[in-house]
């Protein structure tokens, strides 16, 4: 093995001043809710809002020492792309980044803004791989792999060094797995400092690539997931042997649970996380008996989430909790009806977020209309009180929450 604790410790020292020593906090509300002590390493507050900054920075630092005039190349759908572009610019190295044709426009645009030459190729990272390797040979570029690179793994492992500078006694560390660079670096550090610590990897149930290899399973591996940062079909050739040696188990989590965790992290801890970043905490919540009364740390590995998707997740959670509902109200089409509806909702403490007055439905008589309203309330009981108040005023009312479910 070409990586060990000493190499990661050296990387951690060299990275000081170039990356952020991110906050390490206790999630007090979540800890109370799930009878455990949950600590979070907030890599969403790292440069480029992702732990990827560490590995990219260290790999590029080492490259510029060895071959400062040679350009670099990588492939990434987002976080690694932005990290490589950022540090290539910092160290005055030309960078070429291959991104899938379906990569979000915001991530492509941001990567270009950071100074990289961006080429869109293929639909997935797997499809871009051959193109990247061929272009690297043709242009004599150094490949900075997103995870299958010992310098990258060493950089990611610096997170482990920082965790144990803050807390000496941990029972478990729970780490999201994509290609495996993050968990590889952290697990080497953790097992060196505390051989009895338990290391759990976490994957989306749509991309159980390391899980399959670790447990000798053959679960289907594909699909659209909110945890796109860990949507990897094949673990790394360099990372998986480390995973196999150091980690204790791999847990799968589903998208609905991840979405709920994204909402809970914001509501209870005021932490903004992307899907991959919330995966570790999701595993803790969904397996609370496994972690009961334990000191457990998870890494919020990134905060790069599209604002539209984030808003949708928060609204869906409000709907599930009964604090947001869409209702349809049947009325007679005469003056004063909207005022009457507004008063009936207000006197129960509800608030109208949106309202749409519809007369043109084919099933609505000419002298009647339908009102669609999105209402905000304290809880499900409050929604029921609002509906009862409207019915007491003579309105026909039903809930139509399909847009949130």
Q: Is the pLDDT of residue 32 over 90?
A: yes
- 167 and 291 part of one domain: yes
Look at 203-207, 291-295, 332-336, 398-402 and tell me which has the smallest mean pLDDT. 398-402
Out of 283, 315, 347, pick the residue that ends a domain: 315
Range of the domain at 378: 323-399
Q: Is the pLDDT of residue 81 over 60?
A: yes
Closest CA to 386 of 353, 339, 345: 345
Predicted local distance difference test score (pLDDT) of residue 322: 81
SS3 146: coil
Q: Is 45 a domain residue?
A: yes
Rounded-to-integer distance, Cα 315 and Cα 332, Å: 31
Q: Is 40 a domain residue?
A: yes
Q: Is 405 a domain residue?
A: no
Give me the mean pLDDT over the 277-301 stretch. 97
Residue 194 vs residue 105, higher pLDDT: 194
C-beta separation of 50 from 34 below 8 A: no
C-beta separation of 315 from 385 below 8 A: no
Out of 143, 165, 188, pick the residue that ends a domain: 143
Here the CATH number for the domain that contains residue 365 is 3.30.70.260
Q: Is the pLDDT of residue 126 over 70?
A: no
Q: Is the pLDDT of residue 405 over 50?
A: no
Band of the pLDDT at 404, cuts 50, 70, 90?
A: very low
Alpha-carbon torsion, ordered 140, 240, 221, 200, to 10 deg: -130
Rounded-to-integer distance, Cα 239 and Cα 237, Å: 6
pTM of the predicted structure, to 2 decimals: 0.88
Here the CATH number for the domain that contains residue 243 is 3.40.50.1100
Give me the mean pLDDT over the 68-73 stretch. 94
Q: Is the pLDDT of residue 369 over 90?
A: no
Residue-wise pLDDT tens digits, 329-354? 988 878 888 899 999 999 998 999 98
- 166 and 188 part of one domain: yes
Angstrom CA distances, 36 to 69, 252, 256, stand at 51, 20, 22
Predicted local distance difference test score (pLDDT) of residue 291: 97
Token pair for 288:
């609370």
- 179 and 221 part of one domain: yes
Q: Mean pLDDT for the chain?
A: 92
User: What is the number of domains present in the chain?
Assistant: 3
Q: Is 404 a domain residue?
A: no
Predicted local distance difference test score (pLDDT) of residue 367: 74
What are the φ/ψ torsions at residue 332 (nearest 5 degrees)?
Answer: -85, 140
């Amino acid at each position: 093995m070409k990586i060990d604790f000493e190499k990661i410790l050296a990387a951690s020292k060299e990275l000081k001043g170039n990356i952020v020593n991110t906050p390490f906090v206790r999630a007090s509300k979540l800890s109370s809710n799930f009878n455990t002590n949950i600590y979070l390493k907030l890599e969403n507050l790292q440069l480029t809002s992702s732990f990827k900054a560490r590995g990219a920075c260290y790999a590029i630092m080492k490259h510029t020492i060895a071959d400062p005039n040679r350009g670099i190349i990588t492939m990434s759908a987002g976080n690694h792309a932005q990290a490589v572009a950022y540090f290539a610019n910092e160290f005055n190295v030309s960078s070429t980044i291959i991104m899938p044709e379906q990569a979000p426009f915001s991530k492509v645009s941001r990567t270009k803004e950071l100074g990289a030459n961006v080429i869109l190729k293929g639909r997935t990272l797997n499809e871009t791989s051959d193109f990247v390797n061929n272009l690297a040979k043709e242009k004599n570029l150094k490949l900075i792999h997103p995870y299958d690179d010992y310098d990258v793994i060493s950089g990611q492992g610096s997170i482990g060094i920082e965790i144990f500078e803050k807390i000496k006694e941990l029972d478990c560390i729970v780490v999201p797995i994509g290609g495996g660079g993050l968990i590889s670096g952290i697990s080497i550090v953790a097992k060196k400092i505390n051989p009895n610590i338990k290391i759990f990897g976490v994957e989306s149930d749509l991309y159980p690539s390391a899980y399959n290899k670790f447990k000798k399973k053959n679960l289907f591996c594909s699909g659209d997931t909110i945890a796109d940062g860990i949507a990897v079909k094949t673990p790394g050739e360099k990372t998986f042997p480390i995973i196999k040696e150091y980690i204790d188990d791999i847990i799968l989590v589903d998208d609905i649970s991840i979405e709920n965790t994204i909402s809970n992290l914001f509501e209870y801890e005021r932490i903004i996380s992307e899907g991959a970043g919330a995966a570790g905490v999701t595993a803790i919540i969904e397996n609370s008996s496994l972690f009961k009364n334990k000191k457990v740390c998870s890494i919020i590995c990134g905060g790069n989430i599209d604002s539209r998707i984030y808003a949708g997740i928060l609204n869906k959670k409000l709907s599930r909790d009964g604090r947001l509902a869409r209702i349809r109200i049947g009325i007679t089409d005469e003056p004063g009806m909207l005022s009457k509806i507004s008063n009936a909702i207000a006197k129960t403490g509800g608030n109208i977020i949106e309202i749409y007055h519809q007369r043109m439905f084919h099933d609505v008589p000419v002298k009647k209309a339908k009102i669609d309203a999105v209402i905000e309330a304290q809880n499900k009981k409050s929604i029921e009180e609002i509906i009862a108040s409207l019915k007491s005023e003579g309105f026909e009312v039903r809930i139509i929450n399909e847009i949130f479910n």
